[in-house]
Structure 1
């Protein structure tokens, strides 16, 4: 098997792993009553940007090799390191879902019995799911030897993150007030000890 075939398989398995983690939680939370939902149209646009960068653009490269002109040489070290980063992102992604339980949602929503989660991975960063997606985007950058498809995840998800995180924190402040302010003061956003 060639290195390119191996990297395509790793990326595809990572995408399947993401879906297998997300699907049961998505089904479970559909029954929860939403009491506050913000910016549905804006959310769809941001989710589309993220999906393009983490799914569609790299998926086209994996399926067709296009755009071939943007390919560059690839090494075993990149394959191994990219695979390890992808595994770490999936582990963190699963933990975030497990820690959030019924409080989880794809878009900015507050559920009827929503509570502020500050345990588990949420004890280290306020937005570990975003951390997991940034790890996925980093894995994609390392795994896909193409200057368009590789960084597309960082661009697409970066757009979602930077246009959404402030709104999300505003919603949490509106809902949890001083409890969330105290949580913000002691817990970094997405990188433990840094940001």
Structure 2
């Protein structure tokens, strides 16, 4: 408990300078979490082949695509030209495609 409070205190009092991560998985896609979260509903809808999953999966994917636009707007404001250059080199969600 005390350790957790200490971490919160450090976070609030000593905000570290934020750094844009461009290596590792972020060198392949800009939103790797959304890629992972998009794979499982597609897999489940293919396994179940139920009408509701076939309808909800595209809605789920559309939600993630829309969310990335809002997130990237904030990242461009925060990191500026560095993020714009990163966007030119790295795909949004699907490596080599989108």
Structure 2 counterpart SS, 1:117: coil
Structure 1 counterpart SS, 2:53: coil
Q: Given that residues 140 and 150 in structure 1 are in contact (C-alpha distance below 8 angstroms), is that contact kept between their aligned partners in structure 2?
A: no
CA distance in 2: counterparts of 1:145 and 1:162, whole angstroms: 23
Determine whether 1:152 maps to 2:56.
Answer: yes
Deviation (angstroms), 1:150: 4.6
Structure 2 counterpart SS, 1:164: helix
| Long gaps (5+) in structure 1 | 1-26, 34-111
Determine whether 1:115 maps to 2:46.
Answer: no
* Pairs within 5 Å for 1:55-134: 112-113=15-16, 114-134=18-38
| Long gaps (5+) in structure 2 | none
Residue number among 59, 69, 73 corresponding to 1:166 in the alignment = 69
Say how many residue pairs are matched: 88
TM-score (norm: length of structure 1)? 0.40
Deviation (angstroms), 1:158: 2.2
TM-score (norm: length of structure 2)? 0.75
Name the Cα RMSD after superposition: 2.2
Q: Which has the higher contact order (CA 8 A, sep 6+)?
A: 2
Q: 1:159 to 1:192 in 2, by over 3 A?
A: closer
CA distance in 1: counterparts of 2:85 and 2:53, whole angstroms: 40
Which residue of structure 2 lines up, in the alignment, with residue 179 of structure 1?
A: 82
Q: Given that residues 130 and 161 in structure 1 are in contact (C-alpha distance below 8 angstroms), is that contact kept between their aligned partners in structure 2?
A: yes
Q: Given that residues 125 and 191 in structure 1 are in contact (C-alpha distance below 8 angstroms), is that contact kept between their aligned partners in structure 2?
A: yes
Which whole-Å deviations, capped at 9, do the CAs of 1:27-58 have from their partners, x for residues lacking one? 9xx9445xxxxxxxxxxxxxxxxxxxxxxxxx
